């Protein structure tokens, strides 16, 4: 008998009348592949990442599962409505559904609230049996043991490095803009054996796609004793290159940095966010010390690890003087790739509550809360000053001249500790990652952010005040 089919869609973009935008990044997000891994075998699964291909409404799938973040909620509701009109059963989940279930629930046949591992298999079986309930609540902190491996074989071929997993959930820090701090939960880690099993569950992939991986934690450095033990095990897997995400103060620990190198870490994503200490303090990001950045990035570079760092514009204490010197300051820190964004008071975070209480939210269209729009009134800067600084810093940082200059500096720091062939492979992998990320960020800054900026946004702009999302 033909198996029923489930299509898992991981949303990425608010299409509306904007042309689709497909980022050129090597790895998929974890949520869709992980959900596919947890799905019982009674159902056939397909995963669709909207970041690489459009949603297919004429699918032969019987059931649709939509995973989305907060700013994608309006889009998720539209997609769900279209599929429901076609007679499909549509379920939803993700961080926004977990923090705001009352709002999300009416748009779906059922929603999953919280972490999926404990409830998803039952939800699928109820779906198949026609006994689906409207809400499945995972409760507080379900076990992280024995979570099945993600289905890497279901990632689209556009992803050069489809092996992604996570070792922990949560973060010990209290940054007020962070979604994790809407409803704070303790930092938790998975059994090391489970993480290693994930990284080895690559048998159905082509050989070359098994050699690179990303560990997509919010903060892998929340428990360094655990992380060091994990890195020792990962080193045995002999990846060509692996990437991790952690907070910057971990780099004070020399042993941690050495173990990253031994695990063949080639890229570290770090939330630098600002070179303005007052702005960092304003969002309680106290673990970041600007005077430590240069040494931290230098430690990584000497060990053949690219630093890929977030950089937020429009943080509260930013000034025109700060933006004026920012390109030179960035060059001095030695950050190899930056991910620039406009800071967003994410709905319901402590920072959002503060900005809202001060009457400074100017745009209530939730689909604009993605880091490409300015949605609040800054204390010291006009929108024009913020956009001009964004464009200028990106133009300088991502000029071809500076991209190549940074690359030659980085390569110049590499000393050969390994065999000649391993050294050449290392340089090849680093070159691939560096140019892939740099070209993607350069393109994003030019093509995606503020597409309407030049013509519509100015100091005298009129903000949208339509309430897409019921605030407060």
CA angle 275, 277, 280 (to 5 degrees): 90
Quote the least distance from Cβ 95 to ligand SF4, whole Å: 12
- Which residues, at least 6 apart from 195, have a Cβ–Cβ distance to it below 8 Å? 165, 166, 167, 215, 230, 233
Q: Which of residues 172-211 bind ligand SF4 (CB under 6 A)?
A: 173, 175, 178, 180
Quote the least distance from Cβ 107 to ligand SF4, whole Å: 27
Quote the least distance from Cβ 173 to ligand SF4, whole Å: 4
Rg of the chain's alpha carbons, rounded to an integer? 22
Quote the least distance from Cβ 283 to ligand SF4, whole Å: 9
Give dist(CA 175, CA 431) in Å, integer: 33
Q: Which residue of 65, 91, 171, 199 would you call a contact of ligand SF4, by CB under 6 A?
A: 171
Quote the least distance from Cβ 171 to ligand SF4, whole Å: 3
Quote the least distance from Cβ 266 to ligand SF4, whole Å: 21
169 neighbors 188 (Cβ within 8 angstroms): yes
Count the residues in the chain: 472
Q: Which residue has the tokens 């998720």?
A: 76
340 neighbors 311 (Cβ within 8 angstroms): yes
Give dist(CA 84, CA 90) in Å, integer: 7
Residue 336 or 349: the one with the smaller Cβ distance to ligand SF4 is 349
Residue 74 or 243: the one with the smaller Cβ distance to ligand SF4 is 243
Residue 34 or 178: the one with the smaller Cβ distance to ligand SF4 is 178
Pairing of strands 306-313, 265-273: parallel
x-marked contacts with ligand SF4 along 243-282 as a string, rule CB under 6 A: ----x-----------------------x-----------
Residue 75 or 173: the one with the smaller Cβ distance to ligand SF4 is 173
Burial bucket for residue 281 (CB in 10 Å: 0-12, 13-18, 19+) = middle
Residue 39 or 219: the one with the smaller Cβ distance to ligand SF4 is 219
435 neighbors 308 (Cβ within 8 angstroms): no
- Residue 57: CB atoms within 10 Å: 12
Quote the least distance from Cβ 65 to ligand SF4, whole Å: 26
- Which residues, at least 6 apart from 78, have a Cβ–Cβ distance to it below 8 Å? none
Residue 175 or 342: the one with the smaller Cβ distance to ligand SF4 is 175
CA diameter of the chain: 69
Interface region with ligand SF4, contact rule CB under 6 A, candidates 167-175, 206-214, 346-354, 403-411: 167-175
Residue 246 or 376: the one with the smaller Cβ distance to ligand SF4 is 246
DSSP 170: S
- Residue 99: CB atoms within 10 Å: 19
Residue 189 or 247: the one with the smaller Cβ distance to ligand SF4 is 247
Burial bucket for residue 204 (CB in 10 Å: 0-12, 13-18, 19+) = exposed
Q: How many binding residues for ligand SF4 (CB under 6 A)?
A: 9
Closest CA to 33 of 234, 202, 190: 202
Residue 173 or 442: the one with the smaller Cβ distance to ligand SF4 is 173
Interface region with ligand SF4, contact rule CB under 6 A, candidates 16-24, 171-179, 195-203, 344-352: 171-179
140 neighbors 33 (Cβ within 8 angstroms): no
Interface region with ligand SF4, contact rule CB under 6 A, candidates 156-164, 170-178, 320-328, 367-375: 170-178
x-marked contacts with ligand SF4 along 214-233 as a string, rule CB under 6 A: ----xx--------------
Residue 201 or 247: the one with the smaller Cβ distance to ligand SF4 is 247
350 binds ligand SF4 (CB under 6 A): no
Instruction: Give the residues lining the site for ligand SF4 (CB under 6 A).
Output: 171, 173, 175, 178, 180, 218-219, 247, 271
């Amino acid at each position: 008998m033909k198996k029923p089919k489930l299509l898992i869609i991981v949303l990425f973009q608010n299409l509306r009348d904007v042309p689709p935008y497909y980022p050129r990044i090597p790895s998929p997000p974890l949520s869709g592949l992980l959900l596919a891994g947890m799905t019982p075998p009674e159902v056939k699964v397909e995963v669709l990442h909207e970041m690489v291909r459009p949603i297919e409404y004429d699918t032969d799938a019987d059931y649709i599962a939509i995973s989305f973040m907060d700013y994608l909620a309006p889009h998720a509701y539209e997609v769900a409505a279209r599929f429901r009109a076609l007679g499909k059963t549509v379920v939803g989940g993700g961080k926004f559904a977990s923090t705001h279930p009352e709002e999300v629930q009416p748009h779906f046949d059922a929603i999953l609230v919280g972490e999926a591992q404990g409830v998803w298999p039952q939800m699928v079986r109820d779906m198949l049996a026609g006994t689906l309930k409207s809400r499945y609540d995972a409760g507080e902190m379900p076990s992280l043991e024995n979570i099945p491996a993600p289905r890497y074989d279901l990632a689209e071929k556009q992803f050069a490095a489809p092996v992604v997993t996570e070792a922990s959930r949560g973060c010990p820090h209290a940054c007020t803009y962070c979604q994790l701090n809407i409803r704070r939960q303790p930092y938790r880690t998975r059994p090391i054996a489970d993480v290693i099993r994930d990284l080895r569950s690559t048998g159905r992939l082509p050989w070359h796609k098994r050699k690179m991986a990303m560990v997509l934690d919010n903060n892998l450095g929340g428990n360094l004793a655990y992380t060091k033990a994990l890195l020792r095990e990962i080193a045995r897997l002999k990846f060509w290159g692996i990437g991790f995400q952690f907070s910057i103060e971990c780099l004070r620990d020399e042993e941690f940095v050495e173990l990253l190198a031994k695990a063949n870490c080639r890229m570290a994503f770090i939330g630098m966010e600002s070179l303005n200490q007052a702005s960092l303090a304003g969002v309680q990001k106290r673990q970041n010390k600007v005077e430590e950045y240069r040494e931290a990035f230098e430690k990584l570079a000497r060990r053949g690890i690219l630093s890929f760092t977030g950089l937020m514009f429009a943080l509260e204490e930013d000034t025109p003087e700060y933006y004026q010197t920012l390109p030179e300051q960035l060059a001095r820190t030695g950050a190899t790739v930056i991910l620039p964004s406009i800071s967003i008071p994410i709905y319901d975070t402590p920072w959002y509550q503060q900005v809202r209480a001060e009457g400074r939210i100017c745009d209530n269209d939730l689909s604009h809360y993605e880091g490409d729009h300015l949605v609040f009134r800054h204390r010291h800067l006009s929108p024009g000053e913020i956009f001009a600084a964004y464009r200028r810093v990106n133009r300088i940082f991502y000029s071809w001249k500076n991209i190549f200059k940074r690359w030659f500096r980085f390569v110049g720091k590499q000393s050969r500790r390994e065999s000649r062939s391993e050294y050449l492979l290392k340089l090849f992998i680093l070159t691939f990652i560096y140019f892939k990320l740099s070209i993607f960020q350069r393109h994003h800054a030019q093509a995606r952010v503020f597409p309407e900026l030049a013509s519509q946004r100015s100091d005298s702009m009129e903000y949208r005040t339509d309430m897409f999302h019921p605030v407060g």
